[in-house]
Structure 1
Amino acid sequence: MNIIAIDIGTSNCKAVITGMDLKVFKTFEYATSPIKPKQGWNEQNATTIFKEVIKLLQQSINFCGEENVACVSFSAAMHSLLAVDKSGEPLMNMLTWADLRSAKYAQALEKSNLGKKLYKATGVPIHAMSPLCKLMWLKAKQKAVFRRAYKFISIKEYIFLKLFNKYIIDHSIAAATGFLDAKNICWYGEVLKLAGITEEQLSELKPVEYYETALLPSIKRKLKITKKIPFVLGASDGALANLGSGIVNAKNAAVTVGTSGAVRITSNKYLIDKKQRLFCYYIGDGFYITGGALNNGGIVLQWLVEKILKESFRTETRLDALFTAAASVKPGSNGLIFLPYILGERAPVWDENAKGCFIGLTDTHTEAHITRAALEGVCYAVVDVLRALEENSGNINNIYLSGGIIKSDVWVQLLADISGKKIMLNEAADASALGAAFIGMKALGKVKNITAAKMFLQNVKTVKPSVANHRIYKKYFAVYSSLYGRLKDVFAELTAMN
């Protein structure tokens, strides 16, 4: 028997097929392109994504044979927002997490006592990524759409609506909306009032292992199936990435650095940061995913190569040469520090106005210094979130690292030296999809608790920090961590000028 894990992301949709031992043996994938009508806007067409999901299901079921499909389970990106009418048809393009048009509403709310109260109750930092802030923008700027909306939903809710004609949302996706009371696991009345909507305009809350089997007849015909296959709600991609990597306690952190990045722990405590630097999202069985997402990971290196050096980011020999040159530079890049906020930033500053900048630039600095400073800057940003986590949850022993960063030994060593922690290279492919498959197993009664996901914990290689280099980096990190506070008002002024 097989499990089909459908992972709905903002850059691709994929189907990962596993056996009942959760070993992957087939993947199907489609790229999804964002729609960017204006700077700071980031949309997707929900109907197009649904069609891609149907194609993935058709391919997967055909590959497995319907008699061999134990269940279908879902992973999806967080923070999407779509308004639909009474017939379930979209009234707009879906807004993704990267859409920043609600920034001014987020910034005003974040500064208020109400914003602090909402963060404490929901665990969602006040930021333009949040569906709450997106709804505030929609109410003010798209009044006709807001008035006509029957429901406000995410992309995964839309998929289940089209499959089963039901409005249902899992606890994990709901936890990232800004509308969920994170302790009592119910819709939070005060935030509904702020957004100007009712509970009836949101979907029905369900556990991540909840499933439906009664597909609409038209969908059954498209998929060419006759048996009742459980379609499991699953969870958010971030939460499932932790489970798919085997991170089930607060002593290990899952760190991903791809185009963007994330730092997360799994805890049985609702951890709220007094400085509002971290998110805390419920997943199930009394467990929460706590951490922070970074806008700026590998995109920093891509920017440097393509926009500054005017070269191809896809040329591996050139990238290798850059890493080699960076490795020849001493820790601290000869007094050069890079604040890597070229796309604004989420954790730990949650500021859409944040900007990237080099501090300490002199005529002694070369391409190698600038490259190393950029790589160090991304590592500083990761450690900034790690430090916030440790302040709230206690010491983190190990970092389980995944993403494109692991292709560079130089960059991995920099993260070890700057963090002062052992890096466990985790090469588990498609961690979010594996997490979805695991939730499928839970829905089928094959595992009892989320902690069973520790089966995925793997360590291909360990990278230890240099004690001498870490001693140097502690001084540089102290300077780095003070920079945003000193420059925050300057960033806001620069944004206002454009």
Structure 2
Amino acid sequence: MHMIGVDIGTTSTKAVIYAVDGSVQATHYVEYPLLTEGDRAEQNPDEIFEAVVSCIRNVTDRVSHDVAFISFSSAMHSLILMDEHHARLTNSITWADNRSQAYAKQLNSSEEGHDIYQRTGTPIHPMSPLTKIMWFRNEESDLFNRTAKFIGIKEYIFYQFFERYIVDYSIASATGLFNIHEMQFDEMILNKLGMERQQLSEVTDTTTVLKGIKPEIADKLGISTDTPVVIGASDGVLSNLGVDAYKPGEVAVTIGTSGAIRTVVDQPRLDREGRLFCYALTRDKWVIGGPVNNGGVVLRWIRDEFAASEIETAKRLGLDSYDVLMRIAELVPPASDGLIFHPYLTGERAPLWNADVRGSYIGLTLSHKKEHMIRAALEGVLYNLYSVFIALNVLMDEPVTELKATGGFSRSALWRQMMADIFDENLIVPESYESSCLGAVVLGQYALDLQPDFTHVTEWIGTAHEHSPQSKNVAIYREILPLYFDIAQSLTEQYTRIANFQRRVN
């Protein structure tokens, strides 16, 4: 018996097939482009559907089509407008799309915005379908009026599979339209948007199992029509499950292109300042935390703009370009001799929820060199994540017991140690890197009564690295962190002025 976890991501779809003991039997991924122009960030849903089909077929071919079930993970906050004939009117508008920023600002500056956050658990931001739909209603009213269904990318895939519009609690809870206390779409919000309930998908638990996939699709996937398909959840909440960070006191940190920090609680918890999200894992498990825009994307920018000559030399020597960056950063002491980097190169979500914030170096002197700028950038990404961690601590059921880290950054010993020192917490890196796919499979086993709970994931993932905070470094970071926070807070008005200027001249 084999189990498939599929993760429909922002830049690629991946399928991983596992044996019953949790060992990986095969993986396959397919990338697709992000279509950007100005504030737009879209994808072609049909390309993503073909990627899903290709990934599943590739792994089923490698295990003689012996598949017990398929379970899904998906990126959040996407929006696709469908007409009455089930034809799409738009591409998939991703979380990174910023066209609705004016409507997000409008809501955030009102008491209504705070009330919406308290009902939905989704911070008010251009990422959410809530503000995207506001934009369509006001800026593209013809498309809005022709829309029969407002759906996300996972709903689009499942409609192709089953000809049924269905959405899980997890994806629904990230739309800004879903009342997490009543577990249904919020009528007050729908009335504000001029929408009807039937324009949204049927909502169901993340453990819902579907059968009867269309025969022509089953044939393409290499499965039978009665193969169970578990609707699953969103990538963020499943990542917590996939790294075994779902028990009280356990916190998951992910740094890929972007980043996030999350923990699991037994009931919805909301931040009074609106800094954290609250999304469903199951009907009785909730994930609270915050996403950041600026993770590995900052490291890539640093590599390309500050170390081009070193990287070219590394390529000729067959060395990894990011390893070279880390060696350069190691030349500089913790806190980069007082150089602070605010990593807001792409605006920021948590904890600021401000698309206008901009990156900056603070404290530059003639004594600072390129290696300082590289290390300060690495530290800045972690400082920002730590600011989300502080807010998270207030809402947790129990004190933090350990951090579990995943993502590309976790391959760097230097960056891992920086995190342990900045957070002043023990850090564990699981051996399994495909946390969302693994989380989807673990949830699928629970949904199909193949496992009574999630505890077996502990045996599956193992530990690749462990780091403890070094007291000398902790003391240095505790001194500079308040400066980082205070400077970012004091520049709020100036960020908007700079962003407006940049929009005018660009």
Interval containing the TM-score (normalised by the shorter chain): over 0.9
1:485 to partner: Cα distance: 1.3
Cross-structure match for 2:54: 55
Equivalent of residue 493 in structure 2, options 470, 484, 489: 489
Cross-structure match for 2:14: 14
Cross-structure match for 1:26: 26
1:188 to partner: Cα distance: 0.9
Cross-structure match for 1:80: 78
Q: Structure 2: which amino acid aligns with 1:176?
A: A
Q: Structure 2: which amino acid aligns with 1:430?
A: E
Cross-structure match for 2:417: 413
Query: CA 1:167–1:338 in 2, change beyond 3 Å: closer, same or farther?
Result: same
Equivalent of residue 183 in structure 1, options 174, 181, 190: 181
8 A Cα contact 1:4 1:71, kept in partner:
yes
Mean Cα deviation higher: 160-169 or 306-315: 306-315
Cross-structure match for 2:365: 362
8 A Cα contact 2:213 2:225, kept in partner:
no
DSSP 3-state at the match of 2:463: coil
Give structure 1 regions of 4+ aligned residues with deviation exceeding 6 angstroms. Answer: none
8 A Cα contact 2:344 2:358, kept in partner:
yes
Query: CA 1:73–1:54 in 2, change beyond 3 Å: closer, same or farther?
Result: same
1:295-374 correspondence to structure 2 within 5 Å? 295-311=293-309, 312=311, 315=315, 316=319, 319-374=322-377
Equivalent of residue 259 in structure 2, options 261, 264, 268: 261
1:221 to partner: Cα distance: 4.2
1:362 to partner: Cα distance: 1.1
Q: Structure 1: which amino acid aligns with 2:17?
A: I
Equivalent of residue 197 in structure 1, options 195, 198, 202: 195
After superposition, the C-alpha distances for 1:206-234 in whole angstroms (9 at most, x for unaligned) are 11111221122332343455451111101
Cross-structure match for 1:379: 382
Equivalent of residue 480 in structure 1, options 476, 484, 487: 484
1:125 to partner: Cα distance: 0.4
1:268 to partner: Cα distance: 0.8
After superposition, the C-alpha distances for 1:270-307 in whole angstroms (9 at most, x for unaligned) are 21111111101012141101111111112112111212
8 A Cα contact 2:31 2:51, kept in partner:
no
Q: Which runs of 5+ in 1 are unaligned?
A: none
Cross-structure match for 2:128: 130
Structure 1 Cα separation of the partners of residues 198 and 236 of structure 2: 27
Q: Structure 2: which amino acid aligns with 1:407?
A: R
When normalised by structure 1's length, the TM-score is 0.96
Structure 2 Cα separation of the partners of residues 4 and 418 of structure 1: 37
DSSP 3-state at the match of 1:371: helix
Query: CA 1:45–1:435 in 2, change beyond 3 Å: closer, same or farther?
Result: same
Structure 2 Cα separation of the partners of residues 86 and 374 of structure 1: 49
1:128 to partner: Cα distance: 0.5
1:454 to partner: Cα distance: 4.5
Cross-structure match for 1:71: 69
DSSP 3-state at the match of 1:332: helix
Q: Structure 2: which amino acid aligns with 1:160?
A: F
Q: Structure 2: which amino acid aligns with 1:30?
A: V
Query: CA 1:457–1:21 in 2, change beyond 3 Å: closer, same or farther?
Result: closer
Query: CA 1:220–1:402 in 2, change beyond 3 Å: closer, same or farther?
Result: closer
Query: CA 1:92–1:321 in 2, change beyond 3 Å: closer, same or farther?
Result: closer
Query: CA 1:456–1:350 in 2, change beyond 3 Å: closer, same or farther?
Result: farther
Structure 1 Cα separation of the partners of residues 242 and 86 of structure 2: 32
8 A Cα contact 1:284 1:450, kept in partner:
no
Q: Structure 2: which amino acid aligns with 1:355?
A: R
Q: Structure 2: which amino acid aligns with 1:31?
A: E
1:450 to partner: Cα distance: 4.8
When normalised by structure 2's length, the TM-score is 0.94
Q: Structure 2: which amino acid aligns with 1:39?
A: G
2:276 counterpart of 1:272: no
Structure 2 Cα separation of the partners of residues 109 and 96 of structure 1: 20
Query: CA 1:367–1:126 in 2, change beyond 3 Å: closer, same or farther?
Result: same
Q: Structure 2: which amino acid aligns with 1:32?
A: Y
DSSP 3-state at the match of 2:336: coil
Query: How many residues matched?
Result: 496
Structure 1 Cα separation of the partners of residues 225 and 455 of structure 2: 31
Structure 1 Cα separation of the partners of residues 455 and 352 of structure 2: 31
2:400 counterpart of 1:401: no
Q: Structure 2: which amino acid aligns with 1:239?
A: V
Structure 1 Cα separation of the partners of residues 459 and 267 of structure 2: 22
Query: CA 1:327–1:133 in 2, change beyond 3 Å: closer, same or farther?
Result: same
Calculate percent identity across the aligned residue pairs.
37
Query: CA 1:391–1:93 in 2, change beyond 3 Å: closer, same or farther?
Result: same
Structure 1 Cα separation of the partners of residues 324 and 456 of structure 2: 42
Structure 1 Cα separation of the partners of residues 411 and 374 of structure 2: 16
1:180 to partner: Cα distance: 1.1
DSSP 3-state at the match of 1:489: helix
Mean Cα deviation higher: 323-332 or 68-77: 323-332
Q: Structure 1: which amino acid aligns with 2:495?
A: F
